[in-house]
A and B are shown apart, each in its own frame.
Chain A
Amino acid sequence: GENVEQHPSTLSVQEGDSAVIKCTYSDSASNYFPWYKQELGKRPQLIIDIRSNVGEKKDQRIAVTLNKTAKHFSLHITETQPEDSAVYFCAAKRGTYKYIFGTGTRLKVLA
């Protein structure tokens, strides 16, 4: 079946450094790739997404890149801050099919 692999499962960075989280999907027909941030005790919230007709998207300190050939997409957070500490989930979706989520990355930003 379809799956999304996400790495690393935990990531610790110093405040101000960059963080990169990577996901690989199996369904080559996937065309929508969102990233969610879930803070402790809160609901997942969409932070950025990308569609298959775009290779890169940026929103302030956050960027996502997509490599359709490799079936690989990544989340980049620059100038990390303590409030970036959370669990991040990637997902892949094809048309009206279900979302397939990665297993999550716990990011810790050390002050």
Chain B
Amino acid sequence: KAGVTQTPRYLIKTRGQQVTLSCSPISGHRSVSWYQQTPGQGLQFLFEYFSETQRNKGNFPGRFSGRQFSNSRSEMNVSTLELGDSALYLCASSPLGEWGEQFFGPGTRLTVL
């Protein structure tokens, strides 16, 4: 099976702009989670989608949003970008809601200037 893919891999934006990142999970996986990774903060959970519904949410402002489509592909959107949003954004997919191993994508490196 193909692994989790994310597009784009690199992105440069300026403050105030918005950005949309995409994640394609492993075929058959219904759960997609998003994480923000920065050098000093480790892996910070953004949200999880399962069968097109947001099931879990982290402690991020409303500028961060996401959605999942019927084919399980997911997108996350960040509006009104701030310098502090510069990070590696990782998505991860799982086959089941409770016990499935979580597989990470390669990430999207977002730089906000």
Instruction: Report if A98-B33 is in contact (Cβ < 8 Å); known contacts: A43-B105, A46-B101.
Output: yes
The residue in chain A whose Cβ has the minimal distance to the Cβ of B97 is A96
- Whether B97 and A44, one on each chain, are in contact in the complex, defined by CB atoms closer than 8 angstroms, is no
Categorize the interface residue count of chain B: 20 to 34
Q: Once the chains are docked, how many angstroms separate the CA of A89 from the CA of B107?
A: 17
- Whether A32 and B42, one on each chain, are in contact in the complex, defined by CB atoms closer than 8 angstroms, is no
Residues of B within 8 A of A (CB): 33, 35, 41-43, 45, 48, 50, 55-56, 58-59, 90, 97-99, 101-107
Q: Once the chains are docked, how many angstroms separate the CA of A103 from the CA of B40?
A: 8
- Whether B42 and A99, one on each chain, are in contact in the complex, defined by CB atoms closer than 8 angstroms, is no
Nearest Cβ on chain B to A45's Cβ, whole angstroms: 7
Residues of A within 8 A of B (CB): 1, 32, 34, 36, 42-46, 49, 51, 89, 95-104
Return the contact of B98 from the options A1, A43, A95 (Cβ within 8 A): A95
**B98 surroundings in chain A (CB, below 8 A):** 32, 95-96
**B42 surroundings in chain A (CB, below 8 A):** 89, 101-104
**A1 surroundings in chain B (CB, below 8 A):** 59
Nearest Cβ on chain A to B58's Cβ, whole angstroms: 7
- Whether A89 and B43, one on each chain, are in contact in the complex, defined by CB atoms closer than 8 angstroms, is yes
Q: List 10 A-B contacts (CB under 8 A).
A: A46-B102, A49-B101, A96-B98, A97-B56, A98-B45, A98-B48, A98-B58, A100-B45, A101-B43, A103-B42
- Whether B101 and A34, one on each chain, are in contact in the complex, defined by CB atoms closer than 8 angstroms, is yes
**A45 surroundings in chain B (CB, below 8 A):** 104
Q: Once the chains are docked, how many angstroms separate the CA of A56 from the CA of B107?
A: 32
Q: Once the chains are docked, how many angstroms separate the CA of A51 from the CA of B100?
A: 12
Nearest Cβ on chain B to A79's Cβ, whole angstroms: 25
**Residue in A32, A97, A98 whose Cβ sees the most chain B Cβ within 10 Å:** A98
Q: Once the chains are docked, how many angstroms separate the CA of A104 from the CA of B41?
A: 9
**B90 surroundings in chain A (CB, below 8 A):** 43-44
